[in-house]
Copies of this chain bind each other. A is one copy, B any other.
């Protein structure tokens, strides 16, 4: 596979800082980057399958959606403005019970379409039926780190072990991590079994953690420990991992995250819409904890847009700390790219550098909200939007460009099939 040469580009490599290369060139070779730098120093000539004049637009690392449930797109806007318990028990669970492989497959493909429009090049996906998910994302040539959502009602230790083995030995685009849905849905025995599995394979473990105040209070009543405390006691984090949401961590929890170099994935859109609260990201950052950003699923957010999440990450900190200087835009951009990649163990897809995977997005700086270019990273975080995404590339393959998809399937068919899933739920 010959490569692509991008030229006449501004390039934000995120490799050790936020400086932007002007008049830059980026060259891909197969799935990887072979050159990034100033145009004047770029290798001359070459056998490229395509040369792209970027007209001064920006190339940057693709965003990493570090927590989502892609297969829930069929549920979008079916159950909003409801209290959490009604939402889950009356709208979400009964429909999920009817969901089969085909439903997950098409719903996931619809999510991938949206990720690409938002410059997202990989997702950290926690849902049901992981083979159907892998089939969908691999057919789209999209990168997906799956994670278990084992609990007392779904999945099992045996399945976790099977998926850990099989989903880490196929396509390079797919990996798998051990995970549990949450402490409040998973027995202590099952959590202990998962810790044993982590010990056996020396791998990290992830789960929803301290998303709501009620969840933490329930755990304290059950065990006299927080969700992080019990995970630590059982040895779940002996080989790393982390938590999704983490709105309500105690001082001791934070110390465990710091000491074990665990990651936190924050989901401000979902936490806002479900009225869960504001995670103290400024504090986590100060403690040196690695942070990624996730959209959560489309039933609770409802969009899968990293730009909205980035604004919310910094905006909600400013509101909570009553300080407009809280949380610099560069810190947020780091979380949305490199921080997420670290959490997902995608350290070969984190920055733009020779040898790394060519997972990147091109931002159209001629859009009105990207002008004037007083400060590119602040423009991205404070006024960026999906409409600025010109191109998204995963592993050297352009999957989205100027509104058109290249994901091996007609978008109209994906939309039609997801609507069939919705219709099938209405029957009986």
Output the least CB separation between A383 and chain B (Å). 4
- Contact yes or no, A419 B372, CB < 8 A: yes
The digit string for A312-332, where 1 denotes a CB below 8 A from any CB of B, is: 001110110111111111000
Number of copies: 2
Interface status of A102 (Cβ within 8 A of chain B): no
- Contact yes or no, A318 B274, CB < 8 A: yes
Stretch in A14-22, A109-117, A226-234, A258-266 with 4+ CB within 8 Å of B: A109-117
- Contact yes or no, B382 A273, CB < 8 A: yes
Chain B residues positioned under 8 Å from A385 (CB to CB): 303, 305, 308, 385-387
Chain B residues positioned under 8 Å from A277 (CB to CB): 319, 322
- Contact yes or no, A383 B326, CB < 8 A: no
Q: A418 to B316, alpha carbons, bound, how many Å? A: 31
Closest B residue by C-beta to A377:
B77
Output the least CB separation between A331 and chain B (Å). 9
- Contact yes or no, A383 B303, CB < 8 A: yes
Q: A278-B319, A303-B382, A378-B302 are in contact. Are A419 and B371 (CB under 8 A)?
A: yes
The digit string for A51-84, where 1 denotes a CB below 8 A from any CB of B, is: 0000000000000000000000111111011111
- Contact yes or no, B117 A368, CB < 8 A: yes
Interface status of A379 (Cβ within 8 A of chain B): yes
Q: Interface centre among A274, A303, A304, A418, by most B CB within 10 Å?
A: A303
Q: A113 to B82, alpha carbons, bound, how many Å? A: 36
Chain B residues positioned under 8 Å from A369 (CB to CB): 76, 114, 117, 302-305, 386
Chain B residues positioned under 8 Å from A111 (CB to CB): 368
Interface status of A87 (Cβ within 8 A of chain B): yes
Set B81, B84, B374, B387: member contacting A77, Cβ < 8 A: B374
Q: A111 to B369, alpha carbons, bound, how many Å? A: 8
The digit string for A368-408, where 1 denotes a CB below 8 A from any CB of B, is: 11011111001100111111000000000000000000000
Chain B residues positioned under 8 Å from A275 (CB to CB): 318-319, 321-324, 326
The digit string for A407-428, where 1 denotes a CB below 8 A from any CB of B, is: 0000110010011011000000
Chain B residues positioned under 8 Å from A87 (CB to CB): 324
- Contact yes or no, A273 B315, CB < 8 A: yes
- Contact yes or no, B318 A272, CB < 8 A: yes
- Contact yes or no, A324 B83, CB < 8 A: yes
Q: A161 to B377, alpha carbons, bound, how many Å? A: 43
Give 16 A-B pairs besides A80-B382, A302-B369 with Cβ atoms closer than 8 angstroms.
A76-B372, A76-B383, A78-B374, A80-B329, A81-B328, A83-B325, A114-B368, A269-B311, A272-B319, A273-B318, A273-B382, A275-B321, A301-B383, A305-B383, A308-B308, A374-B422
Chain A residues packing against B (C-beta within 8 Å): 73-78, 80-84, 87, 110-111, 113-114, 117, 269, 271-275, 277-278, 298, 301-305, 308, 311, 314-316, 318-319, 321-329, 366-369, 371-375, 378-379, 382-387, 411-412, 415, 418-419, 421-422
7 residue pairs bridging A and B, Cβ less than 8 Å apart:
A73-B371, A80-B382, A82-B324, A110-B368, A277-B319, A302-B382, A368-B411
